[in-house]
Structure 1
């Protein structure tokens, strides 16, 4: 542009700075700010806000504060987005006193806080464990002319769930409908996460089906949360049923899904006699055959090159059966997980170090297997 005799203006520089901020190259973005100032081009509020956001995300609050003050020195008036950006950075660093000081400055500058401002403060309070203070601020919102939105309620539910105050979190979930605010998948995930961490899987299952009843479509994260919860609680059969439901919803399992199932397999083998474990594992493999089918193709969340070998390595690490020769064979290429024989070897590994053989027609009789 410069070589063609065209001089970039504030908009051009801000666009480039925004691009570098988007790819999290803060230093390059700041370099362009320096070039801008050297050419005598005055940055805009948007320019400074983009840079502040990048600094806050990288944890460089000192630079974010400097940019905010520099914006004011340049005669610019920070808008609500600029204040919210810096406030969010303070909240994530746990500097609540600075966040509240900034909120006071915002009001004194006649900049009206918006719902994002209050959501940021409520989220910051909850992250530091001040759930009661967050609830108090939430109750004040209608008096300040704001209606809590789905983000407000989700933050509160997340905080209550982390404190294992599930009864109140569940009441908030119902309370949302009174404010004509429909819970979304993220809201449900926040509560389900708490139930799963506390191994209260019956309640998690009830909430999951209530969620389906109100027309919400679960996503990959929510399914993985439930599958991990069931496996951690030793309910591998329920986890496999959830996997089947996951695939029926058109969601492809990823590496995290498979890892959770491996942990579940391990618990089944440890807690059951070998013959019983053999029978149960055959049921499990049939129940989640669709998941294992994805070993034939790319699994989201894991790189394709060497993915099957990586999965095999994960199995050997989880089971810890001292049969390292299986992994040695896989590393040397003697076990090829692209083939049915290789898959049988994997299952033999699961069945106590390869001492038992599973009939492949029982385990691989699912659509898509070669």
Structure 2
């Protein structure tokens, strides 16, 4: 202090007044500080220690401090750093507090560059003065106040640096860091802070802990959420219902139902009162795994505890029952809901509607649809999409099309999913042009198609054999990201390969190269199909070898295309050799692979090979499907053994395999060939009751029967057949009305 007094008193009063005026101005303007302070330049002479002689070092230092702070507070990093460096001309300066002040004011400016902060920090570590606890606290508090993901990452870095250099972060600092990282969604960073707090024997606050568990559970980081909860339970922490239910749901959704059950029982013993969400989570978990006894047991436990199941609880079980094919049980549960005063909502009905349609139980679906209407539940786009999707899957394309057309004509809101299903129905009926016109009319009303919409139209034109039109539309559609996707190209390429259209293939491949698309496994399989179509099997094998060496790796679908074409071209021996290679080296043959060979050997009359393949299928754990049975039924019908074929059809049904319309048409044709009109009537009656519905091939068989004069020869039988077909059509018309 004496030195300070003597140095100040030695100056003239005029200089003191000027200095004091400058210091006051520095508090208001950085520019004033620059004008007032006469910074020495490179021409200024240094003393023996490399320092610049100044008349009043302290006043000069204060001026530099104020200038540096004002520069930093305004976000002028380079100027502030330059001013800080000028302090080195004064003995013992700058101090750690100068660096801390620099960082504090720079962070306050809100124009902070993280790289600049690291640069200043590295200067301290490399050349001194070394950072102290206040340095780290300043950095961390400033970074956390910025509340951004970028600042958060540097906060983690400086926290680690602080701990590594022997300074202990405070509880409040780490609590803020943990809270910010959870709120900003950096869950891995949150876990790092959480573990650091545990190492320092800090216990996170209850609110932050619940937030962390909830966020981890929502992000499906179930293992991490359970770890956090387990650690906190050991410390006497008791979760809120919100965080507890979130981890319970996460465990149940990730097939860890027994872990969830153990946690449920443990906390129940500790006194936690579970709510309907807790029980619903367990119901979801057990139903998801098909553990129906346990799921119903949880429902009973709810009732005993006085916790009433809600629509979410019941809808959860109904959804998984329908997925498991247990539609009757789902319907019973629907009745139970209503008896207990829990009204099903639209979601509940949509689930059952979709399941009924998928099982081709169309009449029941429409009855339920009318029940919904009576209850005042207005169908939403998902309702129509669910019913139409189910009808489509069941093969009832015409009914699905009329159903959606009725929906659209009412002026109801049509979403992308419903629109795409309707377009798919039209295209499957060979009405691609009509589908395109309908889409244009919807677009005029504000509908925005997606890639699926456009690809559906492209696929429709390709199915109609109009590949040129499809390629034209590819160029004219207004794609979402200004270009088609790989599905678009593969759709056209698939049909071009089936048609053997080499010119079209070249055009598509050129466009793909222009758009920078590489061939994937579907594109490559299309080329395999093209070479097979053109009987260029040597080129086909070369492409296959190239795929094996360079990618994309051939799948069993690729090999099945080759096997099928080899068999159709009479190269059964070559097909069987490739089949044996697949069995040895993979990919493993699937049911389709076996069906291709079984069908070919049946046509060849090689019963020994057929038996061997069936035995091999059984050893591989594969069951014959509709195509397998269809091959044998076709062979029996061809030999005139219709009764044996019908017996095999019955065995097929008993085995749980539903006969396809192809099998029924094979039987109908064989009966027609053998003059078994009454058997035709019985089979059509069975189809009318159990499905599938007769198609164009079935109608053609009946037309041939009529043209043969069977109406005159067997009037009663033909009247009965007409009655069966007529009743079915009448029911459809009533439903559509």
What TM-score bracket applies, with the shorter chain setting the length? 0.7 to 0.9
Pick the aligned partner of 1:156 from 327, 349, 352. Answer: 352
Which segment drifts farther, 115-124 or 77-86?
115-124
In structure 1, the residue matched to 2:493 is 316
- Once residues 94 and 233 of structure 1 are traced to their aligned partners in structure 2, the CA distance between those partners, rounded to angstroms, is 38
Structure 1 residue 161, shift from structure 2 partner: 0.8
Tell me if structure 2 keeps the 8 A contact 1:330–1:336: yes
Tell me if structure 1 keeps the 8 A contact 2:252–2:282: yes
Tell me if structure 2 keeps the 8 A contact 1:123–1:155: yes
Does 2:409 align with 1:225? no
- Once residues 105 and 322 of structure 1 are traced to their aligned partners in structure 2, the CA distance between those partners, rounded to angstroms, is 66
- Once residues 157 and 114 of structure 1 are traced to their aligned partners in structure 2, the CA distance between those partners, rounded to angstroms, is 20
Structure 1 residue 81, shift from structure 2 partner: 0.8
State the Cα deviation string for residues 7-37 of structure 1 (Å, max 9, x = none): 6433322222222222222223223323433
State the Cα deviation string for residues 57-81 of structure 1 (Å, max 9, x = none): 2222232223222321332121111
- Once residues 78 and 36 of structure 1 are traced to their aligned partners in structure 2, the CA distance between those partners, rounded to angstroms, is 19
Does 2:255 align with 1:71? no
In structure 2, the residue matched to 1:4 is 173
Tell me if structure 2 keeps the 8 A contact 1:158–1:191: yes
Does 2:214 align with 1:31? no
Tell me if structure 2 keeps the 8 A contact 1:9–1:41: no
Aligned pairs (5 A) from 1:1-370: 2-4=171-173, 6=175, 8-212=204-408, 216-269=412-465, 277=466, 282=469, 292-295=476-479, 297-298=480-481, 308=485, 311-320=488-497, 321=500, 323=502, 325-326=506-507, 329-330=510-511, 333=513, 335=514
Tell me if structure 2 keeps the 8 A contact 1:196–1:226: no
Q: 1:263 to 1:85 in 2, by over 3 A?
A: same
Q: 1:236 to 1:209 in 2, by over 3 A?
A: closer
Q: 1:140 to 1:268 in 2, by over 3 A?
A: same
State the Cα deviation string for residues 318-355 of structure 1 (Å, max 9, x = none): 53247464455345x4x459xxxxxxxxxxxxxx9xxx
TM-score, normalising length: structure 1: 0.75
Structure 1 residue 162, shift from structure 2 partner: 1.3
Higher relative contact order (CA 8 A, sep 6+): 1
Tell me if structure 2 keeps the 8 A contact 1:56–1:64: yes
Structure 1 residue 164, shift from structure 2 partner: 0.9
Structure 1 residue 84, shift from structure 2 partner: 0.8
Name the larger-Rg structure.
Answer: 2
TM-score, normalising length: structure 2: 0.40
- Once residues 256 and 315 of structure 2 are traced to their aligned partners in structure 1, the CA distance between those partners, rounded to angstroms, is 22
State the Cα deviation string for residues 242-274 of structure 1 (Å, max 9, x = none): 4324424533322322332333232111xxxxx
The number of equivalent residue pairs is 320
Tell me if structure 1 keeps the 8 A contact 2:359–2:394: no
Which segment drifts farther, 242-251 or 195-204?
242-251
- Once residues 60 and 238 of structure 1 are traced to their aligned partners in structure 2, the CA distance between those partners, rounded to angstroms, is 50
- Once residues 398 and 509 of structure 2 are traced to their aligned partners in structure 1, the CA distance between those partners, rounded to angstroms, is 42
- Once residues 106 and 245 of structure 1 are traced to their aligned partners in structure 2, the CA distance between those partners, rounded to angstroms, is 52
SS of aligned partner of 2:377? coil
Tell me if structure 1 keeps the 8 A contact 2:213–2:225: yes
Which segment drifts farther, 204-213 or 313-322?
313-322
- Once residues 409 and 501 of structure 2 are traced to their aligned partners in structure 1, the CA distance between those partners, rounded to angstroms, is 47
- Once residues 169 and 197 of structure 1 are traced to their aligned partners in structure 2, the CA distance between those partners, rounded to angstroms, is 14
SS of aligned partner of 2:230? helix
- Once residues 261 and 496 of structure 2 are traced to their aligned partners in structure 1, the CA distance between those partners, rounded to angstroms, is 50
Q: 1:18 to 1:314 in 2, by over 3 A?
A: farther
Q: 1:136 to 1:36 in 2, by over 3 A?
A: same
